[in-house]
Amino acid sequence: YCYKHLNIKFYFGKIDYQLLREIIGYSFFIFLGIIVDQINWNTGQIILGIYSGTAAVAVFAIAIQFIRLYLQFSTSISGLFLPRVTMMIANKVSNQELTNMMIKFGRVQYIVMLYIVSGFILFGSPFISLWAGTNYTDAYYMVLLIMIPITIPLIQNIGLTILQAKNLQGFRSIVLIMIAIINVIISIKLTKSYAGIGVAIGTGSSYIIGNAIVMNIYYHRKIGINIPLFWKNILLMSVPGVISLGVGYGLNLMIVQDSVLFLGYKMVLFSLVYYITMWFFGFNSYEKGMFMSILKKVLNVFMKN
């Protein structure tokens, strides 16, 4: 089909070994990163099964479901930008342009991630109790211990895309291996005393060390991205989130019932407060335009129905 209809020519002659080595090296580090991710997100249940029993594994499995959903929200956004970043790297754009792009899309990711984290802080515990049962309430604390630290690499996923475009992901793969080892060591030590909470502490602390500290230093010194400027933008955007958390906490005090209906009311009210405060105190002109575009599409869908 490719030969006849797409007019693609295949040459099976001399192999370009230099290109082959580059392809194998690039693929190896991508593969290594996938393996380490599997270690980070699956060994916790194995450790709990050995030291704490099936009940702790069941509670931790609930927490991991929330974490996996949380991961998907961020990676689905950043995965769209690899072609664009690769083109920018090929055109040898300046470090300032890479910084601006990382800030631009990091802010967009942070808007979504902060909304999810804030909502879970406020309503995660009653939601888990209603959904899974009161025996699984410890999953709430496990999720927070992991969710908050992994927010840092999730809003910096464009940095990972830049590393892939520059073929510099080898250092990150080494850091990921270190994270996995630290995670396992801390988890084993703490699991004996704190069960699933101990595993969550091990996972969260290892991500703080590897992604929040080591990788940010690497982005700043090796890649040339202005990390202080990036975090300045993120901290300024956190102000509306703090305001929304305060309002949400007030809603929890005024509406103490946690039935499905009342919990839904509180979630809707919190969502309105969050995006209104973001509109006035957080969004820039690009983000306002993007938000209005999404809102119009959603309203058009409801109007057609």
Distances in Å between the alpha carbon of 239 and those of 58, 114, 149, 244, 283?
36, 11, 19, 9, 11
Q: Yes or no: say if 254 and 266 are a contact pair by the CB < 8 Å rule.
A: no
Helix (H, G, I), strand (E, B) or coil at 14: coil
Structure tokens at 136: 């699984």
How many angstroms separate the CA atoms of 53 and 5, rounded? 59
Question: Can you say how many angstroms the Cα of residue 216 is from the centroid of all Cα atoms in its chain?
Answer: 15
| Contacts with 50 (C-beta within 8 Å, 6 or more apart), sequence order | none
Closest CA to 104 of 240, 278, 286: 286
- CA-based max dimension of the chain: 75
pLDDT in tens, 190-244: 888 888 898 899 889 988 988 889 999 999 998 889 999 999 999 999 999 899 9
User: Angle 17-51/54-78 helices, nearest 10 degrees?
Assistant: 150
User: What pLDDT shows up at residue 231?
Assistant: 94
**Residue linked to tokens 């980070």:** 40
Q: Where are the domains of the chain?
A: 17-118+127-225
**Residue linked to tokens 């946690």:** 258
How many angstroms separate the CA atoms of 125 and 129, rounded? 6
Structure tokens at 157: 């996923």
User: What pLDDT shows up at residue 24?
Assistant: 86
Distances in Å between the alpha carbon of 189 and those of 41, 52, 53, 176?
17, 12, 16, 20
CB atoms within 10 A of CB 148: 15
Please report how many Cα atoms fall inside a 13 Å half-sphere around the Cα of residue 115, on the Cβ side. Answer: 21
Low-confidence ranges of the chain (pLDDT < 50): none
Closest CA to 29 of 178, 220, 222, 168: 168
pLDDT in tens, 139-171: 999 999 999 999 998 898 888 878 877 878 788
| Contacts with 40 (C-beta within 8 Å, 6 or more apart), sequence order | 179, 180, 183, 203, 206
How many angstroms separate the CA atoms of 116 and 69, rounded? 10
Any long-range contacts for 127-136 (C-beta under 8 Å, 24+ apart)? 127/263, 128/62, 129/258, 130/258, 130/259, 130/260, 130/263, 132/62, 135/59, 136/58, 136/59, 136/62
